[in-house]
Amino acid sequence: MRVVITGGAGFIGANLAGTLLERPEVEQVRVVDDLSTGRKANLTGLDVAFHEGTVLDPALLDEAFAGADAVVHLAALPSVPRSVADPVASHHANATGTLEVLQAARRAGDLHVVAASSSSVYGANRELPKRETMRTAPMSPYAVSKLATEAYLAAFHHCYGLGVLPFRFFNVFGPLQPAGHAYAAVVPAFVDAALAGRPLRVHGDGGQTRDFTYVGTVTRVLADAVLRRVVHADPVNLAFGSRTSLTELVAELGSVLGRPLEVEHTEPRPGDVRDSQADNSRLRSLFPEVQPVLLREGLEHTVEWFRS
């Protein structure tokens, strides 16, 4: 099997490349990435075919998709705050980029397409846990662009018979996730600050909750989806129903490091949701054997990677 990963030099993509290459069924992994947020160094030591460029380039996609069997579409411009600052860029990369990937998948012979959406699509809907059948209520341009991703996958499935599987990711974390920039996710930002002896910056009161999912769990599910060619036109939550507040995350990280951590509270960020927790019934029905890595173990792996 030959698998293409768009955004494959990013945090999740590079971890997925490593997971796929461990599977004997996978003959080749190809990566498409414009390196706008990913890093080629993330692929060091991995035997991948690298195609540098944007998913907005149809000719590049045709080259990368030729002779492939499946695509895992992870390329995106991430971050809610980034989308608030530049909504047009988020739309082009995430919504139009998905459309171009789907068009290229059809031209290449109707490749199986697994794609990343986001729990941010639930937005202002306060009901917990988040079920895929709930009303979506995006609160940011990023969330809107991810809802468009899902809608395009469903449309291509129903109109053209394309095999698709959209996953809603919930706060994925782990090794290779970057810190030290304005749009860093909360776990790497906390780990980076803690190891450097800086206060951990919490936007809001710290009571907001998230369903943190370790990247190794995510990549195992993605690899299984590709190898078994799992098709489901409706979105699937890729998380396991945990609910951890940022205050609890700080305490758990402090326990891993063996010392209390200083916290600095700032104003809440526009577009951020208050609480997030997945209902995983649909995921469990499609992937009954998956066992998630627990938060503490994932934090231990992440700290170890940062220290190395």
For residue 32, what are the CA distances in angstroms to 60, 64, 65, 66? 8, 7, 10, 13
Inter-residue contact 140 to 119 (CB < 8 Å): no
Domain 2-174+213-241+277-292 class, CATH top level: alpha beta
CB atoms under 10 Å from CB of 258, counted, come to 6
Q: Which of 276, 237, 37 is nearest to 139 (CA)?
A: 276
User: Residue 184's pLDDT is what?
Assistant: 79
Instruction: Please name every residue paired with 126 in a beta bridge, in sequence order, or none if there are none.
Output: none
Burial class of residue 105 in the structure, from the number of CB atoms within 10 Å of its CB (0-12 exposed, 13-18 middle, 19+ buried): buried
Q: What angle do CA 268, 206, 212 make, to 5 degrees?
A: 100
Q: What are the residue ranges spanned by the domains of the chain?
A: 2-174+213-241+277-292
Inter-residue contact 11 to 215 (CB < 8 Å): yes
User: Residue 254's pLDDT is what?
Assistant: 98
User: Residue 180's pLDDT is what?
Assistant: 77
Tens digits of pLDDT across the chain (308 residues) = 999 999 999 999 999 999 999 999 999 999 999 999 999 999 999 999 999 999 999 999 999 999 999 999 999 999 899 999 999 999 999 999 999 999 999 999 999 999 999 999 999 999 999 999 999 999 999 999 999 999 999 999 999 999 999 999 999 999 999 997 777 799 999 999 999 999 999 999 999 999 999 999 999 999 999 999 999 999 999 999 999 999 999 999 999 999 999 999 999 988 888 999 999 999 999 999 999 999 999 999 999 999 99
Query: Is residue 59 classed as helix, strand or coil in its secondary structure?
Result: helix
